[in-house]
């Protein structure tokens, strides 16, 4: 029995990000509830369900799709299943929140977006950083004209430690796994598309990453359609913690979104002045944004409005990743129009 | 039926702070649950219960005390009822979390503490700031010897706006309503008792506060038993928001706990460099500490350990408030040993 | 032969502060020059004169007073000679810049000020901190009404290391040697006189200072005629360096003058985030203010205007020091009107 | 007559930078003096000489070269005369401090460096930023291994306002006039040469700059021989003032050199928290570095050591400018080995 007015969710995938979304939907957002949790590892689903007092846990997500009391799904399974589940969920009439990336293949993404369009359901992609207070306020200042015309946009995104090599191998590579958030941020902050990218990258953190045919350090230069120039700099390992900053410089000013710290203490000693390192990783740094994106998704379904991050917002960063990788391999600027 | 192992609470008082504790107990702390909410205004209790999916709402808290399935109470009612409810709850064998202050009268406080002692229940007083990340880390640094012997301790505590005059009249005055937290912080940070206080205070914010026989601005000088000197500065109105800082200076260094901000953005314009104001008020600033104090209380009950803020920690700041007020009225340093 | 328009100085005293003023007058201020340097230790005078290409060095400052080509003197000799030299210099028609304090005895100060008045010469007292960029800008903001009516004024002034015990014994004590600058700052920032002081002080840094009948740590509470409340906190030893801050809180805002650092580098490591300690001591921290105060003095002579720090500005902080010490000894608030 | 031991300078060029160097040599550095100032506009030379009490002012710098009492020259004339004067000064046996750039033509630079080598005189190029406290400390931290192996180096260099169009036309273009300092900083910080550059640039500030065949905004991506990746970002107009920052990220940490501010005040109002803008322009920002570089030059002559910025340090940034411009015109990465 549904509590009147609550949006009823099935959560597909009970891994790291599935746990976050399930908990937020179950406990932090008053207008949503979780009805069923699915995971191929049914024990994970069951453990999570018990902890969140969710009544049903299954191993096959089709049980969610065929449950007519469920309004929406949160797709948190492995990337290679995203597009397939989107298509099935759309056909089942479920609204869809899907983790990024939709897929690494543009044709597969297009098929998924087409299914969504045809079914007329909502689709929101999990680019949570748009909902972070720092970046959102920076974007607002830009929209309000406080920095004037953007000239130079800098995005810094460095992880505290590299993932396991097995993760690296399955991730699609740094450009698709990590930089994809920064590609989205570039579009979000600038309010413009990127025309051309040029990538300088290398293996500086772990030779194993190179052996896995990936890079761990990169600087990507972006040329925006509106004339601005951007840079993204990535590293798989910042010893001081998760480094998540942006800077937008324009004709009327500059806004910097700096790192968030776990406390505001400053210690003065005979050796120097010390303060805290940035919040360690994305769970700590972006917890509020995970809640906020889901609230916005629920609202767009409940009020029948366009979600804040639509299907094309999921497709374009993948295209940018393909272009960035091509630029890296060929050591030349690559236009996005060259891809496909 | 109790979920095995969960600590079952009755919440007494469904006002501003009661809402916070009820919500935290019901949704944020895995090992606790709320069974009944009581408020003399039963509609408030009912609204809160509905929102939190709590099954029972009553107008008379005695229903909580007589419910043998309930382990503990959170006393969030008006100050004049605290001591009476503590006594009754202790006699009913309930563990007690009580908001500050216990009372304005030391004899009444003593009677309450005696009842608690006799019943052998746990009592924790709601000095939540001890659980704030900034202050807790500062205290840890002091304990670790990083600042050496404390010499000068400064506590700044300024509200963003004065309360209503009706609140002022019922509050016991600024020293008991506002400074009481700072008296606790002084003891917490220093690890020492205060021997003597000297108060300079006045009415600078609102003449109505003066007409209500209270002050709205104060600087209180403290002499600690361990030799350190402290200051507390209070204002009922800081136009830039809630100002909550401490600074401890000692023989080996200094630690400052600075304000927390809602974001980390910095805006550079032709007019200057701007950043965010502090988090507006205690709900925003101390939300994590409200959760943390209740987790610690639950743990002390479940593990049968001494609560982190005991009854005497509730009594002494009231004594300090009496001394501070006497010092203000007589314009002279007042020893705490003069009181009672 | 005087360079046309240059103000010709005799510098009396070639110790630490005399060296600073002589060098500034000789090399940094275009409209001034140093003609003669006097010191009872004539070798010190000679060394300084050689280094600064000053033609004359003498052991008896009367040679300066009797040199009709000299317009002004900078009195940088030991405190016990200040008043006497002021009187003689005034009688010789010289304009006078005198280091603080004029004397520790109010009657002696009054005699000196009377001589100055009678002679109609300019007298400026060396309260250099008024000319520091941070404090000056804070004062300007207050004058412009940006903080509204001042309610709470906090002055922090801590030295990096205690002076030698021989210096302590000759200095008149911490209130006259160190706090005197803060008493001046309190008047400068508030634009108000202080009515009453209350002092808490002790020996926490070095027992030898206590044996010399002085204190090394103090917090002084000030009540201003305009209703504001202030604190000064002093320590003879801050292990992290020279700590020189003020904070003025008022009805419309707050201004903080924070410490100056030798560089703007921030280092992020696995252990924390580090930045530089404050500039070590007054020579580094206040060099610009020493130049600025002397420029202002030269301007007041050349343009025949009132100097920015007049004789009474030299007298009142001494009075405050006497009251602060009395308060310390008697452990009670002392009105300035009680003194003399 | 020379003061024994003083290094005697002729200053060639009494424009903006000539005035700075002449004043520093004459008044701020104890071991140097200025004997003669030359400028084709002899009145400028004379005015400066009078102000600094320098005895001789001439219109033809050959008078300096033929004065055997002069040890060294500071070449501050227009860029097109630098190489010619270097050659003549070397032949006259004078040690040479020369402003950057030596020339825009590598062959001409090589001829000048050859003459210096042949004559065995010292040559130091005016890359003053190496002597700035912030950048020097950053470099020291890198040398000490505190950041480990450098991975990503970011240099931000933005002027507060564009120069006049006539200056733009004579300047050789932004890469040679402005970025040249950043090319030097890239080499200085990394301790490595740059192998390849890729430039994205445009006209965003003033169309007149585009009409003068120059750009006003650029981001240049650098690949260092040691594997690190760098970016330089330049703008001719930052409305908030002179923006001079670097960030070096490596395997063991990160160092940021942030902007210097004219004061340390922070103002909290109902509208936000404000602090000062960066120091306006290079005269304010780099004054100490101008003094420090000249002190180092004097020391290298007096102690017969290698100057801290030698001829090749003047040549390579010009080469980098040529490569950066070629990259901009051809929109492709350009190896430095392609040039000449």
Whole-number pLDDT of residue B3: 42
Query: Looking at the DSSP assignment, which residues form a beta bridge with residue D196?
Result: D223, D335
Could you report the per-residue pLDDT of C43-87, keeping only the tens digit for each?
999 999 998 889 999 999 999 999 999 999 999 999 999 999 999
CATH 3.30.360.10 fits B130-280+317-338, yes or no: yes
Whole-number pLDDT of residue A2: 36
Distance, CA of A121 to CA of B230 (rounded, Å): 62
Distance, CA of D306 to CA of C104 (rounded, Å): 55
Tell me the pLDDT band of D5, cut-offs 50, 70 and 90: confident
Tokens representing C155 are 């002055």
Tokens representing D36 are 């003669």
Could you report the per-residue pLDDT of A212-247, keeping only the tens digit for each?
999 999 999 999 999 999 999 999 999 999 999 999
Tell me the pLDDT band of C164, cut-offs 50, 70 and 90: very high
Judged against a pLDDT cut of 90, whether residue C28 lies above it is answered with no
Chain D residues with CB-CB distance to C265 below 8 A: 134, 137-138, 141, 255-258
Residues in CB range of C299: below 8 A, 6 or more apart: C305
Judged against a pLDDT cut of 70, whether residue D331 lies above it is answered with yes
* CATH assignment, C130-285+317-338: 3.30.360.10
Judged against a pLDDT cut of 90, whether residue A331 lies above it is answered with yes
Q: Are C10 and C73 in contact (CB under 8 A)?
A: yes
**What distances in angstroms separate CA A175 from CA A164, A203, A209, D231, one per listed residue?**
16, 13, 13, 19
Whole-number pLDDT of residue B6: 87
- Chain B residue with the nearest C-alpha to that of A258: B264
- Chain D residue with the nearest C-alpha to that of A150: D204
Tell me the pLDDT band of D28, cut-offs 50, 70 and 90: confident
Q: How far apart are the first and last CA of chain D?
A: 48
A258 at interface of B, judged by CB pairs closer than 8 A: yes
Using DSSP, how many helices (H) and how many strands (E) does chain B show? 13, 15
Could you report the per-residue pLDDT of C232-281, keeping only the tens digit for each?
999 999 999 999 999 999 999 999 999 999 999 999 999 999 999 999 88
Distance, CA of A53 to CA of B3 (rounded, Å): 11
A184–chain C nearest CA distance, Å: 27
Judged against a pLDDT cut of 60, whether residue C211 lies above it is answered with yes
Could you report the per-residue pLDDT of D97-111, keeping only the tens digit for each?
999 999 999 999 999
Contact D267 C146 (CB under 8 A): yes
Q: Which residues of chain B have pLDDT under 50?
A: 1-3
- State the architecture of A132-281+317-338 in CATH terms: 2-Layer Sandwich (3.30)
Q: What percentage of chain B has pLDDT greater than the value 70?
A: 99
Judged against a pLDDT cut of 60, whether residue D22 lies above it is answered with yes
Q: Are B216 and B236 in contact (CB under 8 A)?
A: yes
State the DSSP H helix or E strand holding residue D283, giving kind and residue range, or none if neither: helix D282-285
Q: How far apart are the first and last CA of chain C?
A: 48
Judged against a pLDDT cut of 50, whether residue D3 lies above it is answered with no
Judged against a pLDDT cut of 70, whether residue C3 lies above it is answered with no
Third-level CATH fold of B7-121: Rossmann fold (3.40.50)
Strand order in the sheet with C7-12: C56-58, C32-38, C7-12, C72-75, C95-98, C123-125
User: Looking at the domain covering D130-284+317-338, what would its CATH class be?
Assistant: alpha beta
- Chain B residue with the nearest C-alpha to that of C150: B204
Q: Are B196 and B327 in contact (CB under 8 A)?
A: no
B1 at interface of D, judged by CB pairs closer than 8 A: no
Could you report the per-residue pLDDT of A93-138, keeping only the tens digit for each?
999 999 999 999 999 999 999 999 999 999 999 999 999 999 999 9
Tell me the pLDDT band of A63, cut-offs 50, 70 and 90: very high
Whole-number pLDDT of residue B53: 84
Q: Are B9 and B72 in contact (CB under 8 A)?
A: yes
Whole-number pLDDT of residue D200: 98
Chain B residues with CB-CB distance to C237 below 8 A: 251
Contact C229 B252 (CB under 8 A): no
Residues in CB range of D120: below 8 A, 6 or more apart: none
Distance, CA of D74 to CA of D99 (rounded, Å): 8
pTM for this predicted structure: 0.95
Could you report the per-residue pLDDT of D47-94, keeping only the tens digit for each?
999 988 899 999 999 999 999 999 999 999 999 999 999 999 999 999
Chain D residues with CB-CB distance to B259 below 8 A: none
Among D134, D268, D269, the residue with its CB nearest the CB of C264 is D134
Residue numbers of B between 129 and 168 with CB closer than 8 Å to A? 133-134, 137-138, 141, 146
Chain B residues with CB-CB distance to D268 below 8 A: 238, 240, 277
State the DSSP H helix or E strand holding residue B301, giving kind and residue range, or none if neither: helix B287-302
- Helices A311-330 and A179-190 cross at an angle (nearest 10°) of 120
Chain C residues with CB-CB distance to B137 below 8 A: none
Q: What percentage of chain C has pLDDT greater than the value 90?
A: 92
Q: Are B209 and B215 in contact (CB under 8 A)?
A: yes
Whole-number pLDDT of residue D6: 87
Tell me the pLDDT band of C327, cut-offs 50, 70 and 90: very high
> Could you tell me which residue, C26 or B253, shows the higher pLDDT?
B253
Whole-number pLDDT of residue A3: 42
Alpha helical stretches, state H, A191-281: 207-211
Judged against a pLDDT cut of 60, whether residue A1 lies above it is answered with no
A264–chain C nearest CA distance, Å: 12
Residues in CB range of A26: below 8 A, 6 or more apart: A32, A33, A34, A52, A53, A54
Contact D255 C265 (CB under 8 A): yes
Contact C229 B235 (CB under 8 A): no
Judged against a pLDDT cut of 70, whether residue D4 lies above it is answered with no
Whole-number pLDDT of residue A100: 94
Domain positions in chain C: 7-121, 130-285+317-338
- Maximum CA extent, chain C: 67
Whole-number pLDDT of residue A171: 85
Chain C residues with CB-CB distance to B148 below 8 A: 239
């Amino acid at each position: 029995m549904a509590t009147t007015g609550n949006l009823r969710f099935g959560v597909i995938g009970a891994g790291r990000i599935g746990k976050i979304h399930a908990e937020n939907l179950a406990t932090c957002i008053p207008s949503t509830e979780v009805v069923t949790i699915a995971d191929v590892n049914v024990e994970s689903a069951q453990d999570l369900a018990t902890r969140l007092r969710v009544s049903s846990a299954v191993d096959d997500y089709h049980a969610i799709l065929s449950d007519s009391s469920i309004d929406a799904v949160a797709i948190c399974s492995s990337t290679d299943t995203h597009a397939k589940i989107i298509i099935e969920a759309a056909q089942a009439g479920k609204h869809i929140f899907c983790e990024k990336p939709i897929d690494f293949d543009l044709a597969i993404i297009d098929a998924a977006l087409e299914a969504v369009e045809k079914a007329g359901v909502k689709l929101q992609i999990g680019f949570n950083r748009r909902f972070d207070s720092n970046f959102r306020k920076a974007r607002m200042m830009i929209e309000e004209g406080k920095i004037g015309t953007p000239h130079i946009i800098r995005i810094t995104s460095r992880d505290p430690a590299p993932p396991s090599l097995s993760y690296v191998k399955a991730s699609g590579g740094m450009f698709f796994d990590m930089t994809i958030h920064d590609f989205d941020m570039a579009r979000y902050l600038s309010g413009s598309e990127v025309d051309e990218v040029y990538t300088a990258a290398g293996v500086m953190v772990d030779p194993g990453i190179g052996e896995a045919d990936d890079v761990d350090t990169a600087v990507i230069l972006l040329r925006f359609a509106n004339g601005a120039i951007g840079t993204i700099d990535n590293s798989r390992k910042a010893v001081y913690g998760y480094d998540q900053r942006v800077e937008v410089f324009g004709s009327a000013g500059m806004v910097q979104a700096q790192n968030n710290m776990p406390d505001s203490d400053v210690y003065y000693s005979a050796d120097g002045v010390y303060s805290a390192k940035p919040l360690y990783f994305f769970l700590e740094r972006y917890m509020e944004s995970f809640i906020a994106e889901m609230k916005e998704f629920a609202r767009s379904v409940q009020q029948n409005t366009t979600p804040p991050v639509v299907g094309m917002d999921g497709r374009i960063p993948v295209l940018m990743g393909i272009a960035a990788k091509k630029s890296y391999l060929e050591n030349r600027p690559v236009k996005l129009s060259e891809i496909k």
